[in-house]
Amino acid sequence: MLSDLPSEIIYHIATYLPTANALAHLSQTCHRLHEIITAEDSRIFRAFVQSRFPTIETPPYWKDAAQVLTSRSRALDRKAVIGRFVVPSETATKIGCHDISRSDNPTLGYRPVIDSYEVWNGKGWADRKEVLAWGAANQLVMRIKQTDGHPQEKWIIFNDVEDVSSYDDISSLHLLSSKPEYSHETDVEHLIFGRIRGDILHITISPNDATHSYKKNLLTYGLQLDNTDLSDDPEPVLAAHFDNGAIALYHISTDKEEVEPFTWLRTEGALRNKYSKLLSQSLVAVSTGDIKESLCISKVTPSGISPYRTISIDSLNSDFKALTRKANIGAIEPLNTHPLAGPPGEVFLAAWDDYTVRLHDLRSPRPYEVAYKDITDLNPIYSLHTFGHNHFLAGAGGDAVVKIFDMRMCNTYSYLDTQVPTSSQIHTNKPKATTTTTTTTNGKDPNNKNASNSLLHLQKDFSVFLSNPAPLPPTQQNPRRRRLPYRGPIYTMSTPSPASPTIYAGIVDGIVRLDFASTDDLTGPRKGWYEDNLRLGLNTGPGPSSDVTRDAIDLAGYERPDVDGVGTTTITSKLRNQRAFWEIPSSHVEGGEDGGCWDSRWEPLEEAGAWRRRD
């Protein structure tokens, strides 16, 4: 019998089980198996997490980690996304100068830049600290939230400019306190922020004392700042991209109060670098706008910068005519922690001007490996963000669209393997079966071939509209004014940690919080575990609450059509709308819609609809 086998053999067998649910059921078989599986601080759950989610770093609370990661993975498969607005508290602590004068009259809202992190600082998964910060025009808004036995939340609004104009808007922001060099200072927050006028400062903010201090000034020599990027390394490098196309690189781990660039990357002639991204501490990618050298990757060495690889639009096999006139890239996202990745910076996603996101692997002789495209949306892509261990999100430059891509729906590749997708293979949501493990511990097993919610069910990628207008501050409320739906860009996205179910998305004048969690997890028999460990602070009860940050907004989204629909006269997609938690029939909560492949908050389809919302 299985229970009579030596514990090491049982351990070896258990590591091959496809789901965390199977592990839980195995532990309930008999007392001996329960003792083996829970021995050594749930050693088997640790092996499960490290084998099924090998690139996701988690604290060593292995059973909770298995529950959190499999729940999130299942939520992504079921499009179980919950949207809410993040609104600063009216009682936020103000630090710096707030008696200001304005020297201009901007007609557009601010474009937020976001950063966030979370660290575990207790004895369990629920004991953690999360910090969220964003630039709101000239102000820096910060929320510090501790979730444990004594939860608390602090809001801070910082500003150090008296005479304000649009040139004082914050255009870059990086939280440093999660870095090893600063993590021991638990009473202050270290951060680097830059303003359009060219200031790049390293400051500390003390939430308890309501004070701040300047640590470093990064010299910019009067150049106006577009954005900055910070490498994720023990000794990080910061790259500053200026409005004239020049790129300066700085060493952050220095004791100097005034930090000079250790090297520059400048364009020659009339070209101006359009966009840049640090792929790693030693690789930087630049979109030049040039036809022949459209994407240039350079290697950073102690002696300076040297060319490493170039990719031209001619090699992309794109039939998009605009690429013959310009070759801009709107966003780049490294895949340094993805299973496909090799050395840091070698594998990355790039959003090209033909509305296509391409996966590039610098180890391969091909210009790209796989392409991802939404054939119904013709907005440029402003932001890319990896999420989980097999998904990424793309923020469109219009219509408030966030596109969710599942990288498992393409054939995975290896640059050493001859059976790889060719450069002409375009991923346009062709439904495919997948063998990637996606599990839950609530009694449903998506990997069971006999289960109704099997991943072998044909699936398509999905796009979500963040069309709800951001709430106005109380001082600007006007009951007679009708708030129009949001139709703008998704500028940026941030996730507190690789294990978090949350993404913060920046829209004009606001932040939208997206939580990937299934309704039957949050309202079912295990809801107590999710409340204690995820701490989403979500209102799932009857009727709306008085706190807008607790109430989920009803999102809409569409299944992206197959490429076969391109040849038809009209391309249609299945438009879906969410409903409130209390509007879901009780019979639908447990299994969801369409055999469990959709979260139960999505209304059942009655007829095919156009992909754009009609308000």
Query: Which tens digits make up the pLDDT trace of 27-41?
Result: 778 888 778 777 756
Q: Is residue 408 part of a domain?
A: no
Q: What whole-number distance in Å separates Cα of residue 538 and Cα of residue 516?
A: 12
Q: What is the pLDDT of residue 414?
A: 47
- Residue 264 makes CB contacts below 8 A (sequence gap 6+) with 246, 247, 248, 249, 305
Tell me, yes or no, whether 370 lies in a domain.
no
Q: What is the number of structural domains in the chain? A: 1
**What local confidence, expressed as pLDDT, does residue 381 receive?**
96
- Tell me whether residue 189 is in a domain: yes
Domain membership of residue 120 as a residue range: 87-96+108-218
| Residue pair 338/317 in contact by the 8 Å Cβ criterion | no
Positions of the chain with pLDDT under 70: 18-19, 40-41, 269-271, 318-326, 409-460, 473-482, 562-572, 587-596, 606-615
Q: In what order do the strands lie in the sheet with 426-427?
A: 329-334, 347-352, 356-361, 370-373, 426-427
Residue 92 lies in a domain: yes
Q: Does 547 fall in a domain?
A: no
The total number of residues shown for the chain amounts to 615
In a domain, residue 150? The reply is yes
Phi/psi for 581 (5° steps) reads -55, -40
Q: Does residue 600 lie within any of the structural domains?
A: no
CB 172 within 8 A of CB 200: yes
Tokens representing 211 are 């004070």
Q: Please check whether residue 503 lies inside any domain of the structure.
A: no
The pLDDT of residue 182? 83
Nearest to 558 by CA among 581, 535, 538, 576: 576
Which structure tokens are listed for 208? 């308890």
Q: What backbone torsions phi and psi does residue 33 show, to the nearest 5 degrees?
A: -65, -35
Residues forming a β-bridge with 277 = 285
Q: What is the pLDDT of residues 108-148, one digit of tens each?
A: 889 999 999 999 988 899 999 999 999 999 999 999 999 88
Apex CA 440: angle with CA 437 and CA 441, to 5°? 135
